[in-house]
Structure 1
Amino acid sequence: MLSQTRYRMLYLIGLGLGDAEDVTCKGLKIIKNAKRVYLEAYTSILTVGKEALEEFYGRSVILADRDMVEQHSDVILEDAEKEDIAFLVVGDPFGATTHSDLVLRAAERNIKYRVVHNASIMNAVGCCGLQLYNFGETVSIVFWTETWRPNSFYDKISQNRKHKLHTLCLLDIKVKEQTIENMMRGRPIYEPPRFMTVSQAASQLLEIVEDQKDSDKESLAYTAETICVGLARVGTDSQVIKVATLKQMTSLDLGRPLHSFIITGHLHPLEVDMLRQFTDDQSILA
């Protein structure tokens, strides 16, 4: 049973990576006793919808989009000094900086908080066989447009590779996005959700090095032949892992979201043996 000292505060609860049943026992007890339950709905997704969570929890769940969390957090924090408020996050609560900001806002109002951790993509990527302590700085890859093609993450990948470290690439999610026209006109019309795939990420990464094709090959952070790992729906029954060269990755279809991507660094023999399970081309690991 939850002690009385754990009541009347903000709880940030990790939901894990799979479905409704991945919540911890501790987290589920808090959810069932909370006055209000919010589900953060823009940094990641589960394989099930809000309705499945509500059925499993036996509670109604309020969707919290980016605007609510970042601009109107007072709505979430209202009466949190007198009532239990549960804020649910796919993966682990501190997998995104947004949630650190929510904690700071609570602290400014002298609202106590507690975190219930869970598995996140940051540690679950070990399922592919790459050893976690061989990873360097994580990067995010966003959708390019015709006029906006950011590649600042390239330097971080370069530094990781120089230190023989792997790079986990978190792929872009677009949820409840508006066109510039609808935003300027104040029309609450939103674009369909988009989730970057492994092949889209690989294509953008490949374009970056192809733009530098006249450079010395030794100076490139990676090449078309660099070994990469594509992951989809990690932590679910439909999890998929594929190992291929960067160029091969551009044509792979790993199915439904969410996808993640790894650019490998130096491979330990044990890592190579593990990766062999997930490739259709054994020659790339020779």
Structure 2
Amino acid sequence: MLYLVGIGLDSEKDITLKGLEAVRSSEKIYLEEYTSQLSVPVSQLEQLYGKEVVRADRETIQDRKGTIVEEARSGNISVLVIGDALSATTHVDLLQTAKERQVGCTVIHNASIMTAVSVCGLPLYNYGQTVSIPFFTEKWMPESFYDRIVANKQRGLHTLCLLDIKVKERDEDGGYRPSRFMSVSDAARQILFVAQKRKDGAIEDSTVGVGLARIGTQTEAIHPATLAQLAETDLGAPLHSLVIPGSVTVYEKEFYEKMFSFSQFT
């Protein structure tokens, strides 16, 4: 049996009882850690589970998915996913591979940023398409994320922006570059860069964003401000996300005034 186990957003204690039972019954445990990052050492997971946890990068999960699924044909194998078990396409791909090969697969869900974002006070049912913002390079500056943000705003919908993570990137010498995590300030600067290039008036320096950092942990931070202000704001350690609000209701404005003393929504 292959178990895809969401382990939540904070520490080893976020795993569900069902997930813990599955993990403790497993002969091998993989931790997928290239789509997100733990906020605690892997050793804390191992202490709770009573078993070794194998750290799995992109190459392990994507290139060896067939091997992982075949291991589950003859024994219990758990793949731990930070957040929810099906947080990214690669996790759904594991599920699909197991189904295609007729290997049993059980999905055990948990909280992820896709639901925990509601802590910022903007109800989930008013969100449009989620977007990913990648790091710009000198030769690659995609703008599709901007178009999706604008499309959501035009419909009055909020946008959750997932920010880029670069883990175990190969360098020119075949080694690994240092890990990089996009910050709210990075994301705000890139959005404004595209806005200034487009000059379409859809997003401006005064457009409001809500910076999110380490949501679901003891040190989570929620910071509403204009994009120009967020571009100069340091929200500390990763992981970060950014919300671009659409139409804001009277209730939501009151929430921000009371919770954050913020009243800059137009």
CA distance in 2, matches of 1:190, 1:111: 34
Which segment is superposed worse, 147-156 or 261-270?
147-156
Which residue number in structure 2 is paired with residue 207 of structure 1?
193
Amino acid at match of 1:124: A
Distance between the aligned counterparts of 2:206 and 2:260, measured in 1?
Answer: 14
Aligned counterpart for 1:243 among listed residues 224, 227, 248: 224
Distance in 1 of aligned mates of 2:229 and 2:241: 16
Asked if 2 retains the 8 angstrom alpha-carbon contact of 1:242 and 1:278, the reply is: no
Q: Does 1:195 align with 2:176?
A: no
Residue 41 of structure 1 aligns with which residue? 33
Larger radius of gyration: 1
Partner of 1:75: 67
Kept in 1: contact 2:256–2:263 (CA 8 A)? no
2:93 counterpart letter in structure 1? D
User: Does 2:122 match 1:122?
Assistant: no
Contact 2:253 2:263 in 1 (8 A): no
1:150-189 equivalent positions in 2, closer than 5 A: 150-179=142-171, 181-182=172-173, 187=174, 189=175
The 5 Å alignment of 1:13-92 reads: 13-92=5-84
What is the DSSP-based 3-state SS (H/G/I as helix, E as strand, rest coil) of the residue aligned with 1:224?
coil
- Deviation digits for residues 203-258 of structure 1, max 9, x if unmatched? 00011111123x4x3xx2x2211111000000011010000011110011110000
Where do residues 264-279 of structure 1 align in structure 2 (5 Å cutoff)?
264-277=245-258, 279=260
Task: Identify the residue that residue 140 of structure 2 maps to in structure 1.
Answer: 148
Do 2:257 and 2:263's aligned partners in 1 also have CA atoms closer than 8 Å?
no
Partner of 1:255: 236
Q: For 1:63, give the aligned amino acid.
A: R
Query: 1:234 maps to what in 2?
Result: 215
**What stretches of structure 2 of length at least 5 have no aligned partner?**
none
Letter of the 1:268 counterpart: T
Cα shift at 1:110: 0.9
User: Kindly, what percent of the aligned residue pairs are identical?
Assistant: 47
Give every structure 1 segment of 4 or more consecutive aligned residues whose post-TM-superposition deviation is greater than 3 Å. Answer: 277-280
Matched position secondary structure for 2:255: helix
Instruction: Pick which of 60-69 and 74-83 moved more.
Output: 74-83
**How far apart are residue 277 of structure 1 and its match?**
4.7
Q: Secondary structure at the match of 2:157?
A: coil
Compute the RMSD of aligned alpha carbons: 1.3
Aligned position for 1:284? 264
**Deviation sequence 1:111-157 (CA, Å, 0-9, x none):** 01010000000010000100110000000000001111111111111
SS across alignment from 2:264: helix
TM-score (norm 2): 0.96
| Matched residue type, 2:72 | A
TM-score by length of 1: 0.90
